[in-house]
Amino acid sequence: GKNEYDLLIIGGGSGGLACAKEAAKFGRKVAVLDYVEPSPQGTKWGLGGTCVNVGCIPKKLMHQAALLGSAIKDAQHYGWNIAQPVHHTWSVMAQAVQNYVKSLNWGHRVQLQDKKVKYFNMKGSFSDPHTIRGLTKAGKETIVTAENIVIATGGRPKYPMHIAGALEYGITSDDLFWLKESPGKTLTPFVFNVSLECAGFLTGIGLETTVMMRSIPLRGFDQQMASLVTEHMESYGTKFLKRCFPTKVEKTESNRLQVTWKNTDLRTEITDSFDTVMWAVGRAPDTETLNLETVGVKTNSETGKIIVDASEATSVPHIYAVGDITEGRPELTPTAIAAGKLLAQRLFGQSSELMDYDNVPTTVFTPLEYGCVGLSEEAAVQCYGSDNIEVYHAYYKPLEFTVAERDAAQCYMKMVCLRERDQRILGLHFIGPNAGEVIQGFALGIKCGATYPQLMKTIGIHPTCAEEITKLHITKGSGLDATVTGC
Amino acid sequence: QEAAKYGKKVMVLDFVTPTPLGNSWGLGGTCVNVGCIPKKLMHQAALLGQALQDSRKFGWQFREEVKHNWMTMTESVQNYVGSLNWGYRVALREKNVTYENAYGEFVGPHTIKATNKRGVEKLYTAERFLIATGERPRYLGIPGDKEYCISSDDLFSLPYCPGKTLVVGASYVALECAGFLAGLGLDVTVMVRSILLRGFDQDIANKIGEYMEEHGINFIRQFVPIKIEKGTPGRLRVIAKSTKGNQIIEGEYNTVLLAIGRRCMTRKIGLDKVGVKINEKTGKIPVNDEEQTNVPYIYAVGDILQDKLELTPLAIQAGRLLVQRLYAGATSKCDYANVPTTVFTPLEYGACGYSEETAVEKFGEKNIEVYHSHFWPLEWTVPSRDNNKCYAKIICNIQDNERVIGFHILGPNAGEVTQGFAAAMKCGLTKEQLDSTIGIHPVCAE
């Protein structure tokens, strides 16, 4: 018979909701299935996906809480008299953040309703290419059919299952933002941006925090910038255990966690106790219970992610995928949203515009933020050869740091350009306050094919940090001191 | 500094005529001493006051009563400014640029007389001259203005807290100063003759005023002071008249800050002796697109130029490029189009390109499209700050591929946000390209 819905989306996160709302604009019959499997520690949340509930949003808010801690210190230099002691209460912050997230869950429910998108709080799996079996928490089953199906189930944090005690005693970012009590002395092993960002704000609100890393931080990012970021974190108070990896986690009599780890260089074994161990060893695509094999949707054998083409189509006609679940795409909310919207426009709006995944800007919200767009220096060298690129760079000091007597040793920026005639900008990297705000506009410029001369013709806004980008003129190759001086 | 790089023999004459209240400062000009730098630092002090309030909602706890100490802030700011003065002295010395702390004026072709603080005169000759004397705050020309009022020239080093302050004017200087003074906890009133931020997008200017009013700053509109005199001990009495009729009002304040505009320092530097034409009404110097005055060996840059924006980075760029053309065979001219700027009012305003009204005037209402949006910065959610005040709009030229010809943003870190957009506009940004750029999440700029 006829399919019930024009479009069914499994997964109510950034990509799924954007696709649903866009499709509804074309008067289509749309349904969204969203279900959150509780974390091993029992944490669950409402509609909106990772970003809203256990990602970007709570992360940035807690990062802001930490930044405000620094602001309190700065304020005293600027003449504000604040009686000591100053201390931070986790539960006040957590409550406020959780309340805001819940308002977003509510907002999404209302939006779907307004746009006449049907919402099922059910876990979906394929029965056949046009049929989804939805299961509620209580086990009640509903069958839904659709002409087109979009998989947007995202990912969930992985656990290092080979480490004894990892699952029973550790938490992940899925749990951190929903903790009612302070995590206390925390260890975050391995180093994806999530763990650095979390370690950063935990340190900022006054908790003793340790990051453990086996090899390099922020893999995939420009490594010079990654080192500056971690250097700053070290001077900021986060402890780093480098070249180490944990071997087991046990519970002590006093209900703390005892972690044993090995140092690969010194070949020693060390133990210490913590209140919380937060794993950040990467995310696994949420495809296990989808029953993809039944319908033949192909996944990457290594990553488990769904393979899609440039139009977000899977190996099965009428089945698509967007967001973190897709192979080879950046795991970012804005790309998921854009991809979801464009997909809906192509399916129902006679558009043929494909998603452009090039030059997607991003920001790591560590205590000293790192924003970037385009190629890292090493990727540019690999792609074009070091003889064909020029790197302009500068160390600068934000004006606001002067009176606050803050160290700006890691405030740094660099621009990677092609050497050839037009000197097109391949990549821009910025470490400093408000890095995301700084980089966004330049990402637009790069989308327009910005060249070094065009940037140099742009007048700076004074006094800001961003203006230093328009003044970059010292090259790495020259070996000259790249510290900005004067007004 | 740029000219010295090319091995030229360079001299800089810098002299600060003290303010009516006797205030003066070191090398570096307006920006460093009594402009951008101390302004942004005091604005930051005010923002930090707000941050203290926000921080409680984010879980920080400290005693309820938090007070600001003007002297602590001003001393720190002045120390930093002093370090910049020193830095410039050292930089000039290292680059072999001769610096004289003396007042310069032309006395004949290729000749300048330099008079120092003690009145000692010296004559210097040069092949070329660059006039970059900038501006100073205007006074009202009413009884009591010079004896009792201060200007931005005095504010940033004021050796006492200004207390209850009346700011006269509606320029960005007036609003920025009123903004941070209120942010530091002072009772602030702004007296405005007619409109706010003349020359800026008026829709945005009004939003800025509204925000300031809602956050505790009093506005007295359509009045001008006609007399300033001593009031009750420690206070000044201001008598003002309505611009619309005969109504007279009186008020008492600890401090009256005049911010009614700036006038060019071009009338007493002997320009007539060498034939440099100036605009008699404004005092500004007209130059060609190579910053050359009507006298071929005399150039000018900065705030004194006619029809150019009064901004530090523009002056720097113009000066550098001029020198590169003169001595390094370069041909690049300063690009005065789409110069971005930011007003550091409590709600910051970043802009680049046309205001809505100038776009309508130039292109016609039917030929432009304005895209706009209110937004709520994520950092404002938890402390329940205004959810409908931050605003952004872009103005597109429909006939030119929907090219973005105007960019306006009202919100935190407006300068940081605007800079990149200005670069994109320099690259010919269109609406389509804007739409296809992915946002960074979660930030205001996205």
SS3 for A102-116 is HHHHHHHHHHHHHCC
Do the Cβ atoms of A470 and B419 come within 8 Å? yes
Residue ranges of chain B that CATH labels 3.30.390.30: 347-436
| Residues A169 and A259 placed together within one structural domain of the fold | yes
Cross-strand bridge partners of residue A319: A149
Q: Residue A1 above 90 pLDDT?
A: no
Q: What are phi and psi of B373, to 5 degrees?
A: -165, 140
Indicate the helix (H) or strand (E) that contains A321: strand A319-321
Shortest Cα distance, chain A CAs vs residue B223, angstroms: 32
| Residues A175 and A264 placed together within one structural domain of the fold | yes
Domain that holds residue A183: 158-282
Q: What is the mean predicted confidence (pLDDT) over A367-383?
A: 97
> What pLDDT sits at residue A194?
78
Mean of per-residue pLDDT scores for chain A: 95
Indicate the annotated binding residues of A for FAD: 60, 124, 324
pLDDT tens for each residue of A430-465:
999 999 999 999 999 999 999 999 999 999 999 999
What lies within 8 Å, CB to CB, of B285 at 6+ separation is: B131, B264, B266, B271, B276, B277, B278, B279, B293, B300, B304, B305, B306
Indicate the helix (H) or strand (E) that contains A292: helix A292-295
On the CB side of B29, how many CA atoms lie within 13 Å of its CA?
23
In a domain, A484, yes or no: no
| Residues A29 and A151 placed together within one structural domain of the fold | yes
Do the Cβ atoms of A332 and B441 come within 8 Å? yes
Q: Is B171 annotated as a binding residue?
A: yes
Six-digit token string for B334: 């300063």
What are the percentages of helix, strand and coil residues in chain B, rounded to 5?
A: 35, 25, 40
Q: What are phi and psi of A403, to 5 degrees?
A: -60, -35
Chain A residue at shortest CA distance from B29: A487
Pick from B59, B88, B313: which is nearest to A89 by CB? B59
Between vectors from CA B119 to CA B117 and to CA B122, what angle results, nearest 5°?
105
Give the global pTM.
0.95
Q: Which CATH class is domain B347-436?
A: alpha beta
> What pLDDT sits at residue A69?
97
Spatial separation of the C-alpha atoms in residues B169 and B182, rounded to whole Å: 16
Spatial separation of the C-alpha atoms in residues B207 and B195, rounded to whole Å: 12
Q: What is the mean predicted confidence (pLDDT) over A356-384?
A: 96
ipTM for this model: 0.94
Phi-psi region of B42 (alpha: psi -120 to 50; beta: other; left: phi over 0): alpha
Do the Cβ atoms of A72 and B66 come within 8 Å? no
Residue A487: pLDDT band by 50, 70, 90 thresholds? Answer: low
Minimal CA–CA distance to A249: which of A275, A213, A284?
A275
Preferred mutation among A462, A465, A483, A485 to probe B, highest tally of B CBs within 10 A? A462
Phi-psi region of A385 (alpha: psi -120 to 50; beta: other; left: phi over 0): left
CATH of the domain at A307: 3.50.50.60
Q: What is the mean predicted confidence (pLDDT) over A240-249?
A: 92
Residue with tokens 């009590």: A181
pLDDT tens for each residue of A410-423:
999 999 999 998 99
Do the Cβ atoms of B72 and A79 come within 8 Å? yes
Indicate the helix (H) or strand (E) that contains B54: helix B36-57
One-letter amino acid identity for B417?
A: V
In a domain, A487, yes or no: no
Q: Is B7 exposed, middle or buried (0-12, 13-18, 19+ CB in 10 A)?
A: exposed
Spatial separation of the C-alpha atoms in residues B207 and B124, rounded to whole Å: 51
Pick from B31, B340, B420: which is nearest to A442 by CB? B420
| Residues A395 and A451 placed together within one structural domain of the fold | yes
Contacting residues of A for B446, CB less than 8 Å apart:
334, 436, 440
Q: Is B315 annotated as a binding residue?
A: no
Chain B residue at shortest CA distance from A336: B438
Q: Are strands B150-151 and B255-258 parallel, antiparallel or unpaired?
A: parallel
Do the Cβ atoms of A61 and B58 come within 8 Å? yes
What stretches of B102-144 show up as alpha helix (H) in DSSP? none
| Residues A142 and A11 placed together within one structural domain of the fold | yes
Residue A462 bears catalytic tag = yes
| Residues A415 and A332 placed together within one structural domain of the fold | no
Q: What are phi and psi of B401, to 5 degrees?
A: 65, 25
Chain B residue at shortest CA distance from A373: B440
Q: Residue A267 above 90 pLDDT?
A: no
Chain B residue at shortest CA distance from A14: B441
Q: Is B153 annotated as a binding residue?
A: no
Do the Cβ atoms of A458 and B426 come within 8 Å? yes
| Residues A195 and A290 placed together within one structural domain of the fold | no
What lies within 8 Å, CB to CB, of A54 at 6+ separation is: A43, A45, A173, A174, A176, A177, A178
Q: Are B271 and B263 in contact (CB under 8 A)?
A: no
Q: Is B423 annotated as a binding residue?
A: no
| Residues A126 and A20 placed together within one structural domain of the fold | yes
Spatial separation of the C-alpha atoms in residues A439 and A449, rounded to whole Å: 15
One-letter amino acid identity for B154?
A: D
Pick from B73, B332, B446: which is nearest to A334 by CB? B446
Number of structural domains (chain A) is: 3
| Residues A83 and A189 placed together within one structural domain of the fold | no
In a domain, A166, yes or no: yes
In a domain, A63, yes or no: yes
Beta-carbon contacts below 8 Å between A and B: 293
Q: Are B306 and B293 in contact (CB under 8 A)?
A: no
DSSP annotation of B232: S
Preferred mutation among A72, A459, A480 to probe B, highest tally of B CBs within 10 A? A459
- Kindly list the distances between the CA atom of residue A415 and the CA atoms of A264, A306, A484, B235, B419, in Å, as whole numbers in the listed order: 35, 34, 15, 55, 15
In a domain, A311, yes or no: yes
Q: Is B163 annotated as a binding residue?
A: no
| Residues A274 and A415 placed together within one structural domain of the fold | no
Q: Residue A264 above 90 pLDDT?
A: no
Q: Which CATH class is domain B1-136+263-328?
A: alpha beta
> What pLDDT sits at residue B116?
95
Pick from A78, A83, A363: which is nearest to B45 by CB? A78
Minimal CA–CA distance to A5: which of A34, A32, A31?
A31
First to last CA, chain B: 38
pLDDT tens for each residue of A170-217:
999 999 999 999 999 999 886 566 789 999 999 999 999 999 988 888
Do the Cβ atoms of B420 and A466 come within 8 Å? yes
E-strand ranges in A412-473 read: 412-418, 425-431
Helix/strand/coil for B238: strand
> What pLDDT sits at residue A86?
95
In a domain, A358, yes or no: no
| Residues A14 and A152 placed together within one structural domain of the fold | yes
Contacting residues of B for A441, CB less than 8 Å apart:
417-424, 445
Q: Is B55 annotated as a binding residue?
A: no
Task: List the catalytic residue out of B43, B68, B110, B441.
Answer: B441
Shortest Cα distance, chain A CAs vs residue B282, angstroms: 25
Domain boundary, last residue among A252, A282, A312: A282
Chain B residue at shortest CA distance from A402: B80
Pick from A85, A100, A467: which is nearest to B313 by CB? A467
Q: Is B40 annotated as a binding residue?
A: yes
Contacting residues of A for B35, CB less than 8 Å apart:
none
Pick from A84, A86, A486: which is nearest to B88 by CB? A486
Contacting residues of B for A92, CB less than 8 Å apart:
57-59, 61
Do the Cβ atoms of A363 and B52 come within 8 Å? no
> What pLDDT sits at residue A191?
59
In a domain, A310, yes or no: yes
Q: What are phi and psi of B199, to 5 degrees?
A: 95, -20
| Residues A24 and A150 placed together within one structural domain of the fold | yes
Chain B residue at shortest CA distance from A437: B417
CATH fold of the domain at B152-260: FAD/NAD(P)-binding domain (3.50.50)
What stretches of B196-354 show up as alpha helix (H) in DSSP? 202-214, 271-274, 312-327
Do the Cβ atoms of A461 and B32 come within 8 Å? no
Do the Cβ atoms of A81 and B69 come within 8 Å? yes
Q: Residue A302 above 80 pLDDT?
A: yes
| Interhelix angle B172-183/B36-57, nearest 10 degrees | 40
Q: Is A223 exposed, middle or buried (0-12, 13-18, 19+ CB in 10 A)?
A: middle
Could you read off the pLDDT tens digit of each residue along chain B, which spans 446 residues?
999 999 999 999 999 999 999 999 999 999 999 999 999 999 999 999 999 999 999 999 999 889 999 999 999 999 999 999 999 999 999 999 999 999 999 999 999 999 999 999 999 999 999 999 999 999 999 999 999 999 999 999 999 999 999 999 999 999 999 999 999 999 999 999 999 999 999 999 999 999 999 999 999 999 999 999 999 999 999 999 999 999 999 999 999 999 999 999 999 999 999 999 999 999 999 999 999 999 999 999 999 999 999 999 999 999 999 999 999 999 999 998 899 999 999 999 999 999 999 999 999 999 999 999 999 999 999 999 999 999 999 999 999 999 999 999 999 999 999 999 999 999 999 999 999 999 999 999 99
Do the Cβ atoms of A441 and B417 come within 8 Å? yes
> What pLDDT sits at residue A214?
84
Residue ranges of chain B that CATH labels 3.50.50.60: 1-136+263-328, 152-260
Helix/strand/coil for B345: coil
Pick from A89, A447, A465: which is nearest to B436 by CB? A447
SS (H, E, C) B370-417: EEEEEECCHHHHCCCCCCCCEEEEEEEEHHHCCEEEEEEEECCCHHHH
Spatial separation of the C-alpha atoms in residues B341 and B304, rounded to whole Å: 18
Spatial separation of the C-alpha atoms in residues A46 and A38, rounded to whole Å: 11
Q: Residue A486 above 80 pLDDT?
A: no
Contacting residues of A for B132, CB less than 8 Å apart:
none
Between vectors from CA A372 to CA A366 and to CA A376, what angle results, nearest 5°?
110
